[in-house]
Amino acid sequence: GAGVSQSPSNKVTEKGKDVELRCDPISGHTALYWYRQRLGQGLEFLIYFQGNSAPDKSGLPSDRFSAERTGESVSTLTIQRTQQEDSAVYLCASSPTQTSRGGYTFGSGTRLTVV
Amino acid sequence: AQTVTQSQPEMSVQEAETVTLSCTYDTSESDYYLFWYKQPPSRQMILVIRQEAYKQQNATENRFSVNFQKAAKSFSLKISDSQLGDAAMYFCAYRSLFFDDMRFGAGTRLTVKP
């Protein structure tokens, strides 16, 4: 696609429910990144993919968080048994390769609200 | 680990005036990339300008320029002739050549007064 697409744009869920957040990167971008942005704060790195592989999962805040990527395209971030502290904007970004010098292209994010 | 610090949570500028946003970072690497991103209320992160550490010349993109001081590990953003559309959160970011994620500062909220 022309840009990085994320869905849903907004999600309200009840505490304890599972949610899936989707990211569709720019076509041909092999590197894909997930960040969390709490209200009024900077971006917290969660995980990145090179192709379908996620070499570093250490940024995931707990074992309730998982992510996968299939076909070197769409990625899904899943949060199980959501907690109120999970409320944040989840941003996805992609770049042509891991070492792209042009920076990342970001999506508009998913705002998750846990009530 | 690399850290990025933005010491100004908020800044304001009069329309048509110039404003400088500060950023410092900590690294032991000699080559890396630095970026400034703009985040308007739409949440979209927009790349404003980037700098490669091995280049001594400061990057410029229209009204946006940086003052890159490698020895001081400082990377400030200057916005000239500020416009109402420049109002946003601005994030400074560091990217290593060897590690796989981009590190962001906490951001500076810029207000432009008409």
pLDDT for res A1 = 55
Number of domains in chain B: 1
Domain annotation covers residue B23:
yes
| B37 inside domain | yes
Per-residue pLDDT, averaged over B95-100, amounts to 76
Measured between beta carbons, the chain A residues lying within 8 angstroms of B97 are 99
CATH at residue B14: 2.60.40.10
In a domain, B50, yes or no: yes
Q: How far, in Å, are B4, B57, B67 from residue B73 at the CA level?
A: 10, 15, 11
Of A25, A108, A106, the C-alpha closest to A72 is A25
Q: How far apart are the first and last CA of chain A?
A: 33
| Main-chain phi, psi angles of A84, to 5 degrees | -60, -30
Indicate whether B55 belongs to any domain: yes
Average pLDDT over chain A reads 91
Domain range for B74:
3-99
- What kind of architecture, by CATH, is found in domain A5-114? Sandwich (2.60)
Cβ-Cβ pairs closer than 8 A, A with B, add up to: 56
Q: Band the pLDDT of A76: cuts 50, 70, 90.
A: very high
Among A70-79, A95-104, B86-95, which is the least confidently predicted range? A95-104
List the one residue out of A65, A77, A84, A73 whose CA is nearest residue A20: A77
Average pLDDT over residues A61-81: 94
**Within-domain flag for B114:** no
On whether residue B65 sits in a domain, the answer given is yes
pLDDT at A32: 92
Any A CB within 8 A of B40 CB: no
pLDDT at position A70: 87
Query: Is residue B82 one of the residues assigned to a domain?
Result: yes
Contacts of A50 in chain B (CB under 8 A): 100
Residue B112 in any domain: the answer is: no
Q: What are B57-86's pLDDT values in tens digits?
A: 999 999 999 999 999 999 999 999 999 999
What integer pLDDT is reported at residue A98 of this predicted model?
62
Higher-scoring residue by pLDDT: B41, B21: B21
